[in-house]
Structure 1
Amino acid sequence: MTLQAKLDAFKADFEAGKPPYSVPPSVIETMHRATAELIASNAAGLALKAGDKAPAFILNDSDGRAISSASLLASGPLILSFYRGVWCPYCNMELQALQESLSSFHALGASVAAISPQNPVNSRKSVRQNALDFPILSDTHNEVAAAFGLRFALPDYLVALYEDLKNDLPGFNGDNSWTLPMPARYVIGQDGIILYAEVNPDYTRRPEPSDMLPALRRFAAPEKIHLP
C-alpha cells in the first residue's frame, strides 16, 4: 500500500469516527476550514522550490547534539522532511515510510533528516515510536521552516480548538507562538541547490518516498551509487 493510501484510509476512519476515534463533526469542519484557508492563501507558492538555494542551518538532534546542514551534505545529497510533530498521525506515517525507503536512499548516496518545531524530548519520542535510523532535528520557533518559506501561524479559532482538544503545542514545542511548518519534502544537492521540492498546505497529503528517486538518480555521482 502506498503512503498516500495509508493516509487516506486513516483520514476516512478518523473523520467517520470509527473506534478508537470519536470526533464531533464540528471539529472536522474546523480542521477542513483551516486547511482550505491555508491553501487559498497561496502560502505554499511562496516556499522554496527546486532550483533555489537551501538555507544553511544548525539544529540540535534528539540527543541535544548540534547538527549542521553542511555536515549532513558532506557525504551526499540530503533528503529533508519538515513535519508538524509526534502528535500528528499523518506525520508519523510519513516518517515510517521514509524509514522503510532508507536503504534505497542510501544506495544513491543520500542521507535523510527530519525537522519539526518540537523539543528534543518529543523528538526522541518520534525516533522511538517510529523506530527511526535518521535524525530528528528541533527547529525552535520554526526559524528554519520560516527560512524555507514554510512557517505559518494557526488562526485563532484553530488555536481554540487545539486547546479544547488538549493538543498543547506550546508544551510540545517549548514555544508559545502557535506556529507550524507546512509539511514539506526537499532533496538538496551537495552544492546546496534544491533538486526536488514538494510542499502541501494540506497536512493529509504527502509525497511518496519513491517520488524523490528520479532526482537522486539524476544528480547522484556514479561513485556514490551502491548497487545491491
Structure 2
Amino acid sequence: MPEITRLANEAARLFTQTQVKTGEGAELLLYALLEKGLQIPQVLSKMSLKTSTEMQYHGADGVHAKLLDNGDLAVYWGEAKLYESVAKAMTDCMDSIEPYLTGTAHEQDVFLIRHYVDAGNAEVTARLLEYFNDKSILSANVEMRGACLIGFVHENYPSLPREEASVKAELDEVLSSWAKSTKTRLENRSLTKHAIEVFFFPMPSVEEFRKAIKAELRIEVKS
C-alpha cells in the first residue's frame, strides 16, 4: 500500500497544478477508454517527459498501438478536446488529428517513440521499435489511425435519477446528429479512409469536470 500511494502521488504531481483551463482530464479519460475500454495499449507516456508541471505537453494527446491480424501495426494518434460547444470541440479535434493521419505532423512524436517507447516488456518493446525503424521492412506495415475524445456541455443533460430507457432514447437520437456532423468534418478533410475511434462525452459543465479531476488528484483549485 505505501508503494501504491507513492506512485499515485508521483503521478498526480505530473499534472498542471495552477492552470485552470487544462485539458489534461480529458486526455486522462481518453487514455482510460483506449487502454481499458478498447484494449489498445499506450506505447508512449508523454506525461513523464514533461520538464515543468506548469506546462501542458505538445503534440498528440496520446499514442497507442496494437498489432492487427495481418501483422501490421495500427498506431492510434489521440486528441482530446474540451469545449462548451460540441461543434467547436468536433472541429478542433479533427483539425488537430488531420496532420497525424496525413503524415505531416508526427515526426517529433515518432522521434519520442523511438527513444522512449515502453511496452512493459523488453522483447516486445524491441519488436515494436522495428516498426519505427526506417531500415526495417516492418516500417512499411504501419497503419495510421485516430482516436478522438470530444467533451462538451450538453444543454439537455439529463437530471438523474431518470428512467434508463428514456435517457437512452434521447441520447440515441442526439448521437445520430453528432455522428453525422463528425462524418461531414472527416469528409471535408479527406480522412474517411482512416479508422478513427470517436468518443462523445457530454457533460453538464466543463468547469465542474475540470474541478472534479483536480479534486480527485488532490490538486488545490485556486480561484
Task: Report the TM-score, using the length of structure 2 for normalisation.
Answer: 0.31
- Compare CA radii of gyration and give the structure with the larger one: 2
